[in-house]
Structures are given as C-alpha cells and as structure tokens.
Amino acid sequence: MKYLKTGDGFSYWKFCHSLEYQAIQKNFIRAVDSLQIESIMAILKVHTYHIDSHIQMSDMAKSGEDMQVAAELIETALHGMEAAFDSHFSLLSPMNRLEYKYQEN
C-alpha cells in the first residue's frame, strides 16, 4: 500500500501490485476467461493470498450453496488485504480514502 496525497482533509492511498503479483493476475484472468476452475485453485494453492482468486472461488461456492466455504474464502481475502495495509492506514477511519480510479483499489 502506498500513500498518495492529502487533500480536502483526507489521506489518499493506493494498493500497489508487484511485478510478480501482476503476472499471477494475468494467469488468473486467463483462467477465469476460459472457465478453468482447476487453474484458479492451482493459483490459490501456490499463492495463498491471491485476493481475486478467493473472491472468484467464493462466488462459485455461493453458487453451489456452500455459504460456509464462501464466507471463509471472503474472510481470507479480507485478511490478505489487511496484511497489505500501511501502518498509518486505518480502514475504519473516515479520513482515509481508497480512490476507485485505481484498478488495484
């Protein structure tokens, strides 16, 4: 996570993806586009905290009416995102902002 600026009394932040994460993300997008569930599961096996894979698998679990697994996958995704927070960033503070104009956010 990277601090961007302060404006209008708010602190603006952005999630930053490493080159490795970007490569994993490309593999994930290919797997989703081709509907290869096994490929998404393989990504999760190697990269335990790949957020989009957790969200995608949660949607699939929800479609199969396995709400407990769906919830666990979302909880793990949230934990992964929280682990990336800067020590000065608080999701609970209304003074911190993540602008949606950045794809990573």
**Residue range 42-82, pLDDT digits in tens:** 999 999 999 999 999 999 999 999 999 999 999 999 999 99
Instruction: Give this prediction's pTM.
Output: 0.81
What is the per-residue pLDDT for 57?
A: 96
What is the per-residue pLDDT for 105?
A: 86
For the chain, domains (ranges, CATH) are: 17-95 (1.25.40)
* Angle in degrees, 0-180, between the axes of helices 19-33 and 37-46, rounded to the nearest 10: 160
* Angle in degrees, 0-180, between the axes of helices 51-63 and 19-33, rounded to the nearest 10: 30
**Residue range 2-23, pLDDT digits in tens:** 999 999 999 999 999 999 999 9
What is the per-residue pLDDT for 33?
A: 95
